[in-house]
Structures are given as C-alpha cells and as structure tokens.
Amino acid sequence: MKPRIWLPKIIFATLALLITAAMAAAQDMPLFRWENFTTANGLPDNHVFCVLVDGNRIWAGTENGLGLYENSAWKVFRPAPDQPQQSLAHQAVLSLALDRRTGDVWAGTMGGLSRISAGRIDTFTQLTSGLSNDIVYGVGVQGDFVWTATAAGASRLNTRTGQWALFNERNTPMYEIWTYSVSPADDKVYYAVWGGGVLEYDVKTEHWKDYNDPDGETELVLMKDQGLIHEITTSVSYVDKILWVATYFGASRYDGRYWHNFLQKDSGLPSNFLNQVKAIDANRAWFSTDKGLAYYDGTNWAVYRPALDTHKPEMLVRDSAGTLKKIPVQSTLAHNYVLGVDFQGDDIWVATAKGLSHGIRQKSSLETAHIVNQQKTTRKQ
C-alpha cells in the first residue's frame, strides 16, 4: 500500500530536516576564543563582581579594587585616604555603569557610590550625601539621573541639582528594601528586589508598580508563565521594552502582557541560580549562573564553561527541540561561577569568581577550528 511505503520516508525526511535545522542552529550560536585575566596578569583580584565595557577600556569591579584595562595594562583604583581625588569609596566594587553622554563611570561599592570622571573620583556615602545606604548593589544612568540599588532601598541622584530622592517601603510597594539591581530606560526603571520581586517605575507618571508571586501566598509562581518566576530576584535588564529577570530560582521574560519563564529543567539554562541577566534585544539575552554562562537567542541555548567535572573547556548547545550537543572548543571561561557580563561589539567580557574572561567572537566554526589548530601547532613548538 502506497501510504505505508511513503510514511517512513516522510518521517525520515522530517527528522532529517529537524536535525539539519538543529545543527544549523548550533552552528549559528556564537563561538568564542577565551582569554582570561587574573591577578597574575594585573587584575586587582580574581573575584570579579562586575564588568563594564567603555569602548576600548574595560572596567572590572572586584573584591579588592576596581581595575581599568587600557592599552594592554591594568590600572587599579582603591580607597586612598591620602589622595581624596583618586580614592574609591570602597575596595569591593559591586556594580558599574557608564554615562555614555559624559563618559563618567559610576561604581557601586560596599562603602558608597563613586563617580569616576576623567581620572577624578568623587564619592557619595550615606553620611556625606543623600545616598540611602553604602552597600550599592546596582547602579544605572538615565539621562541626568543616577539610580542606585542599595541594601536600604533605591536612591536617585539628580546630577544637575544634586538632589537625592529615596524610594523604599515608605513611598513604593517595596516591602523588602534589599534592592539588588537596577535597569533604567527612558520610559521605565526596573528594580530587582531581593525577596521582593520586581519594581517598575514609570518615568512619565512617576508611579511605582510591583511584580511578585501572582497568588501572593508563596515566593514562587505555581503555574508556569503565570507571572514572575520567583521573588528572590537578583538582576533585571530592560531592553526594547522587554523586561528580563534573573532570580535564584530561574529566569523570566516579560513583554508587558505575558510572562515567559525559564527553568533548568525546560530550557537551556545550566542552573536555576542566576546572578545576572543582560539582554541584547527583545529576544536575545545572556545569563550568568553558578554553573556557567548561558546564551539564549530566542530559540536555542548555548552554555559556556569549564566542564563541571573535568574543568575542560565546554560549550553546549540546546536547540528548540531540546537536543543537546557538545561543540568542541579549546578555551573557556576562567570559572563556571559567573557574576556578570558586558558586550564589546561581538565580543563579550565575563566576570567570574576566579578571574575576568574575554570572549573573542569567532566568525565561524571553521575559523574556530583554524585557531584551534594554530594553538595546537603553537603548543607543539
């Protein structure tokens, strides 16, 4: 019977098509050659909390100083009481933001907020200024405003007038004041509130709105995609009017109407423990987890890390069908515990618990292979 003859062929063709598509997807995922920086080559400390790209300059916020990588050399900023104009608020730098209009860099530290402007450092603390708290987990620039996420709520500095505005449990729906991350844009400002979900500030109306567990009874969403995945949020990234949220229990994407949640079990995330999410656009984002760096292109996932068992370089690609594929790579991140990323064109810079990594984008797998062969040849020599 003809149908019986053709059915296997159709199934085979369909499978082949899917496999080909999956392979193509895998090949489209970004490939990197990784270069790592540690204290051995000038990084102020191996425990890197955050990284910021400023053109050809790379800022690395570490546990023991702020590093500036420029012209192949590191310059380190730390508290320097005898040089007030060069003194950072605190050596532990938790967050960084660039004012692209002025070139000023804002550093959130464990001891206040520092503004680094053409080499001069001015510091704001809870004692010397209107800053709400000296532990500044997050910082972001929105026009003339500098928004901070602190251990005691949100602060906003108007750099023109010097006025500070504080936002906390007294004037927002912030029932926890441990703010962890801020993502300001022209229309909205989002806060990740550790244990308090996400707060949204509408720039036009100056009103606050919170996003939490939809049923209000637990900390996590019970029905998938019903709302924010979990209230213990660690990072927000608002790009192209899409909100991405990282939590210690998965990630969320919100388009203003619908939530879409990502868990290790049903996505390419290598872990549900996320330190940061940073979006490229409405569909693509990078996730910093305790088990590697993950990239989501809207359909497929890629994970970059030293293998958790062997510590050998590893790149995993998961397609939309859930097929997992290992891509052979010769280099990888400094460590699988990833705290943050920033982009430099097609390249990526990654803050890890054991160094700073520079992912140099390879244009094709062929090129990767070429470099891999070159490295092998070099090693033999």
Q: How far is the CB of 12 from another protein (least distance, A)?
A: 60
State which residue, 32 or 191, has the beta carbon closest to another protein.
Answer: 191
Q: Which of 2, 4, 9, 101 binds another protein (CB under 8 A)?
A: 101
Q: Which of 7, 10, 24, 102 binds another protein (CB under 8 A)?
A: 102
State which residue, 5 or 118, has the beta carbon closest to another protein.
Answer: 118
Q: Cβ neighbours of residue 168 under 8 Å, at least 6 residues apart?
A: 132, 152, 153, 154, 174, 177
State which residue, 174 or 293, has the beta carbon closest to another protein.
Answer: 174
Q: Which of 27, 159, 320, 330 binds another protein (CB under 8 A)?
A: 159
Binding status of residue 127 toward another protein by CB under 8 A? yes
Q: Cβ neighbours of residue 312 under 8 Å, at least 6 residues apart?
A: 306, 332
State which residue, 27 or 168, has the beta carbon closest to another protein.
Answer: 168
Binding status of residue 162 toward another protein by CB under 8 A? yes
State which residue, 160 or 379, has the beta carbon closest to another protein.
Answer: 160
Binding status of residue 129 toward another protein by CB under 8 A? yes
CA distance readout (Å), 243 to 71, 172, 337, 355, 371: 35, 19, 24, 29, 37
Q: Which strand ranges, in their side-by-side order, compose the sheet holding 338-344?
A: 31-37, 355-362, 347-352, 338-344
Question: How many residues sit in the footprint of another protein (CB under 8 A)?
Answer: 33
- Indicate the helix (H) or strand (E) that contains 131: none
CA distance readout (Å), 144 to 3, 133, 200: 69, 21, 19
Q: Which of 144, 187, 266, 367 binds another protein (CB under 8 A)?
A: 144
Binding status of residue 132 toward another protein by CB under 8 A? yes
List the structure tokens of 213. Answer: 């567990």
Q: How far is the CB of 205 from another protein (least distance, A)?
A: 16
Binding status of residue 166 toward another protein by CB under 8 A? yes
Q: Which of 115, 230, 253, 335 binds another protein (CB under 8 A)?
A: 115
List the structure tokens of 108. Answer: 């959130």
Closest CA to 305 of 293, 323, 297: 293
Q: Which of 10, 12, 24, 119 binds another protein (CB under 8 A)?
A: 119
Binders of another protein in range 206-225 (CB under 8 A): none
Binding status of residue 3 toward another protein by CB under 8 A? no
Binding status of residue 151 toward another protein by CB under 8 A? no
Binding mask 72-91 for another protein (x = CB under 8 A): ---------x--xx------
Measure the CA–CA gap between 152 and 156, rounded to whole angstroms. Answer: 13
Q: Which of 14, 128, 374, 375 binds another protein (CB under 8 A)?
A: 128
Q: Which of 37, 90, 104, 359 binds another protein (CB under 8 A)?
A: 104
Binding status of residue 172 toward another protein by CB under 8 A? no
Report which DSSP code applies to 328: P
Torsions phi, psi for 69 (to 5 deg)? -100, 115
Secondary structure (DSSP) of 238-303 = EETTEEEEEETTEEEEE-SS-EEEE-GGGSS-S-S-EEEEEESSSS-EEEEETTEEEEE-SS-EEE
Upper half-sphere CA count for residue 47 (Cβ side, 13 Å): 7
Enumerate binding residues for another protein (CB under 8 A). 81, 84-85, 101-104, 115, 117-120, 122, 126-130, 132-133, 144, 152, 159-166, 168, 170-171
